A and B are shown apart, each in its own frame.
Chain A
Amino acid sequence: MQTNAKTPLMRVHGISKSLGGREILKSISLNLYEGEMKVLIGPSGGGKSTLLQCMNYLIAPDRGHIELLGQHIDPGNHRELCLFRQQVGMIFQDFNLFDHLCALDNVSIALRKVRGMSKKQARERALSELDRVGLADKGHLYPAELSGGQKQRVSIARALAMDPKVMLLDEPTSALDPELVSEVLAVIRGLAQNGMTMIMATHQMGFTRSLADEVLFMQEGRIIEQGSPRVLLAEGSKTRTLDFCSQILDVEGGV
C-alpha cells in the first residue's frame, strides 16, 4: 500500500468545470499513486466522464490543474500538452477506433506518427500489444469486422503501445453485450496485476471489490465518499456507495 509521503504519480488539483451553465465538476482533487487502481462510481450525470476527460485536458477545466510526476501541465502549450497526453492512456466507452485502419494500424499509427518510430518497429510493437490482449491473429481486421469486446481490447492495446504512465478508463465495458464484458475485464485485471496505475469509471461491482485500491463515489460534481472497497462496500455499512451499489444490477457473473 502507498503512503502519503510518496509523491503521487498524478495529481488533480481543484478541478472545476461548467458546461451549458451547469456546474459539472465542483473543485475535485485527488492523487493517483504508482500502481494504484482507483474506481469512480456514481449515478450518471455525476461528472465521472467529465472528470476523466479533464484529466488529460480533452475537456479544458475552468479552474484547477493537473500534475504528472510533480510537473505542472500547461494546456496552453500545444507541444507540452501532446507530450503529456502520450503518457496518459485513455479508454473510451465506445472504443473510438479509427474506422479506416485495420486493428494493427490502429495500434501502430500513433507509434509512427506521434512517437516517430519506423514502420517496422511500430508494427512489431503493435503485434506484441495485440498479442497481450489476445488478438494477435486479428491484426488485419477492420473495426467494422470486430466484435465490441475485440474493439475495446484493440483500443487498450493502442493505449498500451504508447507506454502510458497512467490509464484513464471511462466505463470500458458499458457499451458491450453482457457476454463480451468478461474478456475486456480480464485484460484490465491483467494490467492491474502488472502494476499499471489506473483510474476507471465503472459499474462492475465484483471487479471493483476484488481489484480497486480505492473507491471514489461521485455525485453532482463532488467526491462525496472515498475509501477502500472493503470499508465502503462492507455488509451493513451505512455508506452512500453501498446504497447505490445495491441498487444497480450486478451483471458480471463469474468475473
Chain B
Amino acid sequence: MNEELVFLLHRLIPALNEGLIMSVKLIVPSAVLGLFFGVVVGTCRAFGRGIIKPLANGYAALFRGTPLVIQLFILYFGLPGIGIYLEPYTAAVLGFTFCSAAYHSEYIRGGLLSIKQGQLLAAQALGFSTLKTLTTIIIPQAFRRALPGCGNEIVYLIKYSSLAYVITCFELTGKAKVVASESFRFSEVFLVVGLYYLVLVSVASWGLSRLENKLKIPGFGH
C-alpha cells in the first residue's frame, strides 16, 4: 500500500475519529444548553422587569464583547485562583454554553419583540393566563422567527468548538494538531480536518433546514 494511504487510513483517520467523538460530545450539550439558556436570557432581555433586564443585557454584552478564547482561559486557568477546578471538558462545555446563549439571546429577543401586541391582547381576552400565553402563543411564533438565526449560531458553535484544544480538551482540531506535528504533514492533516468540519456543518444545516420546513407556516417569513 502506498505510504500516503497508510498514513491516512492507519494514523490520521483513527485519530480524527477519536477527536470527532470528543467534538460531538462538546457540541451537542453546548448547543442544547446554549439554546435553552439563550431562550431564558432572551426572554429576560425582552420582557424582564426591574433588575432582571439590565442583568441579562449585561450578560449578553460581556459574553458577546470578549473573545471566546479569553473566556475559556478564565474558566480553565483563572478559576483555580479562587479555588474552582474544572475538568477541561467541563470548562469547554461551560464556555461554549455561555457564549452561545449570549448570541442566541439576541435572536430570541428579536423573535419575541416581533410578535404583534394585538395577539397578546386577544389571548388575554380569551382568558389565557400569562404563562399559557407565553407557551402557546408567543414562544411558538418567536421560535419560528428566531430559528434561522439560532441555526446560524449552532453552525458557528460547531466551528468554535475547535477552540477546546487550547484548554487541553483534545477534540478534532487538537488531535489533528498532534498528528500534524508528529508527522509534519500539515497540509494533508488540516485539509482532512477541514473536510470533517464541513461534513459536520452540512449535516447540521440539513437538519436545521428540515426543521424549518417542518415548522413552515403560510405568512411566516420566506
Contacts and interface: CB of A to CB of B under 8 A. Distances in A.
Contact of A142 (B126, B140, B217): B217
Given A58-B121, A97-B122, 9 more contacts: A85-B127, A86-B126, A90-B122, A97-B119, A98-B119, A100-B144, A100-B220, A110-B127, A114-B128
A142 B125 CA distance: 21
B118 A83 contact: no
A158 B127 CA distance: 12
A41 B122 CA distance: 23
A144 B219 contact: yes
Contacts of A142: 217-219
B136 interface: yes
Contacts of A100: 137, 140-141, 144, 217, 220
A167 to B, nearest CB: 11
Contacts of B209: none
Interface string B189-222: 0000000000000000000000000000111100
14 contacts: A85-B124, A86-B126, A86-B127, A92-B118, A92-B121, A98-B122, A99-B116, A99-B119, A100-B220, A113-B132, A142-B217, A144-B219, A158-B126, A162-B126
B129 interface: yes
Interface in B93-146: 116, 118-119, 121-130, 132, 136-137, 140-141, 144
Interface residues of B, number: 23
Contacts of A83: 127
A90 B125 contact: yes
A58 to B, nearest CB: 6
A94 interface: yes
Interface in A37-89: 53, 56, 58, 78, 82-86, 88-89
Contacts of A159: 125-126
A88 B124 CA distance: 11
A99 B219 contact: yes
Contacts of A98: 119, 122-123, 137, 141
Interface string B142-184: 0010000000000000000000000000000000000000000
Interface residues of A, number: 33
Task: Decide if the interface of chain B is mainly helix, strand, loop or mixed.
Answer: helix
A180 B164 CA distance: 62
B127 A144 contact: no
A117 to B, nearest CB: 13
A114 B217 contact: no
A201 interface: no
Contacts of B126: 85-86, 110, 114, 158-159, 162
A96 interface: yes
Interface in A136-171: 141-145, 155, 158-159, 162
A188 interface: no
Contacts of A99: 116, 119, 141, 217, 219-220
A94 B118 contact: yes
A200 interface: no
A109 B118 CA distance: 17
Contacts of A110: 123, 126-128
